[in-house]
Structure 1
């Protein structure tokens, strides 16, 4: 190996003067060397030094874009994402063969000259004049500076073109900055930076990514022949690409090896032996983006991406947040539970096939923390529609990659009305009697300004004509009686009901405010999302405290510095007693109500079924004290599909109901996600019952059919001209059990 000595030690002005010595020769050698640029460069005549020194000497070196790694809550990798696949490594973690190879082929006098190789420049200039070609004379330092310009340009084609344009002005800027870099960094750091910034083809930036791409090993472990091949790529990554042209790549590698022998980096015998060896590639194909996420977590991965791109915690402007994401180098630890995600995927595909007209969404939230544990869908994440893939995240709002409006939630809203009523002091024993149909004056509902919601009547009905008579709150929830909840909302107050919904994080999928003018909200006529419903029900499990859902636990940047992440915000939505009472009543839904097909037998659990008009949406949302899960089933693209006389997942349904399809999916998701050894219980409370109901239900049939009465087809749209409100209200609203 040749003796290495620094060419530094000169000040900027001294090196500039040294360079100007070339220009000073222009008068004598101009004719022989044909240097038309001398005057244009401003490097000859009076004022030359001043012109050179006017170029700013503070080269701004942007941080190198690197890959971001997204982890689950156990530290396992979900996905790696990047705009440029790069992993920055120190020089000590780069094979000495690689260091020697790049110097030998790109700048063999690297350790002997300063920022500018005057001998090389004169040689190149003279050669260009003689041959008419354009031979480069850039040192590694100059090449590094050029790469800095390219990196700074990012993916902007115009900026990239400007950074690489072969102009004399750009060359002068490179020279000035190269001098600065030599003074400030020294040879070893320059070499380290160069090897980390350079493009090696096949989407690999920097030697570590290149080593992984072509040989599936770390850069520190590169052998002589491997290092030579990588060094040869720098001149033309496309021409010498070993994946697409082994012969050209081998020729170029051998050129590097011979050059290494010529300059004394290796012996001629070592070079000859390496030349005889085949390339022996072990290509590792790049895996980039959420489309490569493991365990079906692509939708969650994309939610993480959108969180960083939209949350002001990661930058004041969209441009700032995009820059952070594209720069990468982040290690993002998320809330995703591998166990829960596996269970959600299995559940979503257990009853619905990926090529069905109908899709299923499963999302799980941890009560008390707001942590999103899983997001699963029946269709796989991806862009290949021929394989029924999609990137539409059915669990979240439109702003976060979901459907335009979200979905009407049907009777899964009724527990929210019950909570509002209990908070107002209405007893669970409150009984209302009515026929199976009901007509309610719109003027009897008041919005939060105290004004009536309109004129005319709201006509609604229960699923079956047998569902009439008197019901208390417990039986009305168990059988999902629409007429009862219209009257309960009337007594509790529409404003109070909407206010309770907002306290529980209930939001429309399109981001518009939840209206306080639509009484049909109590039957689920306003769209929301599975994530919002899972988080809302988690508040019941958490004894009345709602926690905003979160997907992030911790983030560190490329330097290991912590990045602040938004925390879940928890606030009391209702009293503990109210939540405990709702829990006890919803236990009845899964024990002998409309959700018996969902119920778990080994632990306390509660939930609610829901369907909408024409059965275009079907739900089951339920929970244990330590896990809340929402399941939605319906058409995800195009027109809504009424789920009558339909085959889904290979099973025929004369009519889909919340208990008979989403319910079993929910049970599968919960069973797989929960630890059998952890079986916390709800806080037991006595729930008052209407006397006549209590007596009557002592002898009720425990073998109640969970499908029977699970849904109804009531028109929940208030029947008055010009009634407007949420999209769901204009289209019939939610209804049913």
Structure 2
């Protein structure tokens, strides 16, 4: 019965409208009859609107805003009464009297508009809400969006029917609030809160009479009444609204005069926040990692731009600033071809929180910028001798050796009796300098001779070393296809199946984030956790949204992890490969560290962990045709190369970690487990000391170079790593 009554009333008004070219400014073209409404009564009653998602740092500061429509829905009490009065005055003066459809108002608007009076719409605010809901929420295709505003009798009827239904089910204030949260105000601002912020930099609750009147007047045509592009038209329209407010008794004549005399007051360049991680500044890479992490966790990331979520992250803004300063200090953002990246992770038994990450490159899409996940995506050059950590951990787990065991250090040119190349020929392995013929595992990790670890791999086997790397944190090795094509074996599978001894020399792609998490695993007594950037995710109502994250697991027996921390503790001491860098940056804390450099000097890396923080930095050529890098002021590509992990990467990490830790108490490394000081292999025989290194060679314990470049099966040709 209600539908029939509405049909009769609407039809009567529309027939009358045939005598005029417009009804409320909407032409009724002949034949334009289609049921264009795509929303349902249930949708409208629920009233869920697309809302921007915010990504915050650990302090609650907004890093980035994700949206398709920049909208910040607010409750009724956060909308100024002046705004509600203004929109009712200009768009639907009988709003509180009619039942959703207003035949009297439609007829009055028809006559008034045809006589040149103040322009008023024939639709009620409730009908406009229905139409705008269809246009901005329900419609998903261009055809549906066109239909939502088409001059159709059927559409008008459907709008009226739904409006009357809503009026019976919702309060007037709820309808008005939803309308104001929905409509478009221009300059990318959807809804009154976004508009108040965009045009005036205030909350919707603080809108004054002239501000509210300006916004209310813009609803009819945001472009025509744009206060920046068309200030005179905007002011004229605003004053029409002010006059309507006066006529309806919402303001007195004195208030109206003062409001009409006020300047427009909008900001000179109204704009909504930048959309996405591009607007996050130095936190852009971290923001990008958050989205990648959520996607990998199975979170419906396609819902983020309209879901109104609040994503609180683990990013420490103070730490970010210090990491960014450190990477830029070593390699300026504009330095061609040379990238410097770093990631910092906090160890823990139940969580490895990502504290900060940065790159010297500005995050973005402009020339000289990068939107690739430089600090967390694997870079193709490799990390060099950092991977010797995995060989050491494997040998300790197999009880072959401990950190005090003397291991053999063959001279350069050593050929393994086990590992061959593709033609079945022995593979020569070289060192970058001269070493004692035997070193304790602890000293070997600090001085990093290649031959010692390739020989050690003969005892452990390559597959267990690869598996150890994955267990401790290099998870991408087991996920990334070796050929780059989906469905083909992973890098880890190929390394194991081909028995590539070069694995211990760090030839596979890796990332600073994963390397930092390896160190966090060791610093967490062998407990691996995913490097999480998430503190919490809540919906628009403040309710927690669960995110499926991998559970922490014991990747390495605690005694091995704790002892290996001490095994890595000499890198910053005399004879260690990063001693010079530690001294130059004033480092004064115990640290488990390791350096690495690839054979052709196209990349170099440093990893380090204290009980409080773990970090990794990599310097590499980020161009399409990588070249060797020379360490200088600043590092640069060159013909020969001399970058080492103990140079720019180590200086970056020591500086950043030192600044972040600041005046925190100096924490000792965990105590060793006596069971892992020695192993079942006998100590190697120690011959007389070798002669000093030649002047043009790095001294033992100085900087290092691995024996292989990315992806090769030949570990020879370099030096100590």
Which TM-score bucket, shorter chain as reference? Answer: 0.7 to 0.9
Deviation sequence 1:462-513 (CA, Å, 0-9, x none): 113x246333422321211111111111101112111211211213477232
Aligned to 2:11: 23
* Partner of residue 519 from structure 2, selected from 534, 537, 545: 537
Match of 1:393 in 2: 373
Partners of 1:732 and 1:82 in 2: how far apart?
A: 52
**Residue 427 of structure 1, CA deviation:** 1.5
1:633–1:662: 8 Å Cα contact kept in structure 2?
Answer: yes
3-state DSSP class of the match of 2:453? helix
**Deviation of the 1:632 alpha carbon:** 0.2
Instruction: Indicate if the aligned counterparts of 1:365 and 1:371 stay in contact, CA closer than 8 A.
Output: yes
Q: Which residue of 2 is the match for residue 462 of structure 1?
A: 431
How big is each residue's C-alpha offset from its partner over 1:220-268, in whole Å with a ceiling of 9 and x where there is no partner? 2111111111101101111111122222211111111122223333233
Contact 2:182-2:191 within 8 A present in 1 as well: yes
Partner of 1:68: 53
Cα distance in 2 for partners of 1:176, 1:276 equals 42
CA spacing shift, 1:164–1:584, aligned 2, 3 Å: same
In structure 2, C-alpha distance between the alignment counterparts of 1:52 and 1:424, rounded to whole Å: 71
The answer as to 2:666 corresponding to 1:679 is yes
Cα distance in 2, alignment partners of residues 409 and 491 from structure 1: 23
Report what 1:489 is aligned to.
457
Aligned residue in 1 for 2:283 = 297
Q: CA deviation at 1:597?
A: 2.7
| Residues 323 and 357 in structure 2, CA contact (< 8 A), matched pair in contact too | yes
Aligned partners of 1:595 and 1:706 also within 8 Å: no
**Residues in 2 aligned to 1:378 and 1:54: alpha-carbon distance in whole angstroms:** 49
Does the 8 Å CA contact 1:658/1:711 hold for their aligned counterparts? yes
Aligned match of 2:601: 615
**Which ranges of 4 or more aligned residues in structure 1 deviate by more than 4 Å?**
24-27, 29-43, 51-57, 59-62, 123-131, 153-156, 441-445, 649-654, 688-697, 704-709, 728-736
Distance, in Å, in 2 between the alignment partners of 1:638 and 1:222 is 53
Equivalences for residues 102-501 of structure 1 within 5 A = 102-123=87-108, 136-153=121-138, 156-282=141-267, 285-288=271-274, 289-293=276-280, 296-312=282-298, 314-315=299-300, 321-323=301-303, 325-357=304-336, 358-368=338-348, 369-385=351-367, 388-397=368-377, 406-428=380-402, 429-441=405-417, 455-464=424-433, 466-467=434-435, 469-501=437-469
Q: Secondary structure of the equivalent of 2:537? A: strand
Q: How many residues align?
A: 678
Instruction: Kindly indicate whether the alpha-carbon contact (under 8 Å) linking 1:612 and 1:736 is maintained by their aligned counterparts in 2.
Output: no
**In structure 2, what is the equivalent of residue 561 of structure 1?**
543
For the 8 Å contact 1:660–1:706, the answer to whether it is kept is no
Give the Cα separation in 2 of the matches to 1:591 and 1:135. 81
- Counterpart Cα distance in 2 of 1:53 and 1:306: 36
Gapped runs of 5+ residues in structure 1?
A: 1-12, 44-50, 316-320, 398-402, 446-452, 717-725
**Partner of 2:154: helix, strand, or coil?**
helix
Q: Distance in 1 between matches of 2:515 and 2:18?
A: 82
- 1:594 matched to 2:568? The reply is no
Aligned residue number for residue 487 of structure 2: none
Q: Deviation of residue 92 (structure 1)?
A: 2.1
Instruction: Give the distance between the partners of 1:425 and 1:250, measured in 2 at CA.
Output: 83
How far apart, in 2, do the equivalents of 1:731 and 1:255 lie? 81
Q: CA deviation at 1:577?
A: 2.2
Q: Give the drift of 1:714.
A: 2.9
Please show how residues 688-703 of structure 1 align to structure 2 within 5 Å.
688=678, 690=683
Residues 15-39 of structure 1: CA deviation (Å, up to 9, x unaligned): 6414414536999x79867999899
Deviates more, 1:680-689 or 1:222-231: 680-689
Q: SS at the partner of 2:55?
A: strand
Deviations 1:598-631 (A, max 9, x none): 4364321121110002100111111111211000
Q: Secondary structure at the match of 1:191?
A: helix
CA contact (8 A) 1:87 1:208 kept: yes
Match of 2:704 in 1: 711
User: Which moved further from structure 2: 344-353 or 375-384?
Assistant: 375-384
The offset of 1:713, in angstroms, is 5.8
